[in-house]
Amino acid sequence: MKAYHLGLDVGGTNLAAAVYDNDYKMLAHRSIPAGADRNWQAITGDMAAVSRSVIDEAGISIDDVECWGIGMPSCIDTRTGLLVNAHQFGWKNVPIREWLEPLLPLPVRIENDANCAAYGEALAGAAKGRANVVMLTLGTGVGSGIIIDGHIFKGSDGMGAEIGHSTLVQGGRLCACGRKGCLEAYCSATALIARGKEVLGEACTNAKYVFTLAKEGNSKAMDLIDEYAGHLAAGLSSIVTIFRPEVLIVGGGVADAGDFLLDKVNALLPEATYNGVTIGVPPVVRATLGNAAGLIGAAFLK
């Protein structure tokens, strides 16, 4: 393994790049607007440019960099390098690895961004030193990453581990994916805000609004948080029943509520989980690395 690692986190809003040493110490970081409405040549050109610029800023040689690790908001067939669907960029079934390989003289390693975030938290964050970890990122949608025996698990064709689109309530709420009853339709920040609008009124435009009211003792908001915690505990119970991870990590905007939410979820999880009272359940903890999780995970992809 070379001395330095280059990670790029591609989002619909920003392209963020960073260089790390082998101890996960960040040497340089830069973020530029994604300009997602431009053509792919312009965007991938900027992906390379911001990546080159952090290498320069870190004052290292590209020859000492292990790889160009990239996290993307899409299913990616890591065998073929085919990106399935990055709706932020309007890219569908594009040969992302082929697009990128000519742009930097480094091996391209590319992975779903939620998988990168989970891997980053397992390497250097909330689950540092743990080999079996599942992370849910509760934001606009619900991203998920599964680490088994220290490796990212993404299904036999590289396109699995989409826990956000596993079923929580068959035939239930409409999900952004067009199907019904997905975990995402109940556990995303979007879902909590939508319920907030129904129960608390149109002023509820973000998850924090609900948590703030609940903390102030508003009984409707408190009920809403209990309802949300119930959904999350039910979703996590399936993960535990299948994977029995050592730690469950929760990230994304909703996780900013911290212990106020996680205490409820941790209290519900044993009874919500098959054999949970008898054999125990893993702790649900908050992600600690924030946006850096995806960058570290990408940088250290294998």
Among 21, 42, 215, 274, binds its own copies (CB under 8 A): 274
Residue 223 interacts with its own copies (CB under 8 A): yes or no = no
β-pairing, 65-72 vs 108-112, is parallel
Residue 219 interacts with its own copies (CB under 8 A): yes or no = no
CA distance 140 to 184: 9
**Residues 70-129, interacting with its own copies (CB under 8 A):** 75, 84-85
Residue 42 interacts with its own copies (CB under 8 A): yes or no = no
Residue 243 interacts with its own copies (CB under 8 A): yes or no = yes
Q: Which is nearer to its own copies, 17 or 234 (CB)?
A: 234
Contact stretch for its own copies (CB under 8 A) within 188-196, 199-207, 214-222, 241-249: 241-249
Q: Which is nearer to its own copies, 26 or 169 (CB)?
A: 169
Query: Please, what is the minimum distance in Å from the beta carbon of residue 5 to its own copies?
Result: 26
Contact stretch for its own copies (CB under 8 A) within 30-38, 62-70, 111-119, 233-241: 233-241
Residue 166 interacts with its own copies (CB under 8 A): yes or no = yes
Query: Please, what is the minimum distance in Å from the beta carbon of residue 25 to its own copies?
Result: 29
Which residues are CB-neighbours of 242 under 8 A, at least 6 positions away? Answer: none
CA distance 245 to 147: 8
Q: Which is nearer to its own copies, 51 or 237 (CB)?
A: 237
Contact stretch for its own copies (CB under 8 A) within 52-60, 99-107, 110-118, 177-185: 177-185
Q: What are phi and psi of 247, to 5 degrees?
A: -145, 145
β-pairing, 4-10 vs 65-72, is parallel
In the β-sheet with 14-21, what is the strand arrangement from edge to edge?
26-33, 14-21, 4-10, 65-72, 108-112
Residue 5 interacts with its own copies (CB under 8 A): yes or no = no
Among 7, 139, 181, 252, binds its own copies (CB under 8 A): 181
Query: Is the separation of the CB atoms in 9 and 16 below 8 Å?
Result: yes
Distances in Å between the alpha carbon of 83 and those of 6, 15, 25, 74, 168?
20, 17, 29, 7, 27
Q: Which is nearer to its own copies, 133 or 295 (CB)?
A: 133
Residue 244 interacts with its own copies (CB under 8 A): yes or no = yes
46: part of which helix (H) or strand (E)?
Answer: helix 40-58
CA distance 112 to 71: 5
Residue 220 — left, alpha, or beta (φ > 0 → left; ψ -120 to 50 → alpha)? alpha
Residues of this chain that bind its own copies (CB under 8 A): 75, 84-85, 131-132, 146, 148-149, 153-163, 165-172, 177, 179, 181-182, 186, 230-231, 234-235, 237-238, 240-246, 271-272, 274-275, 278-279
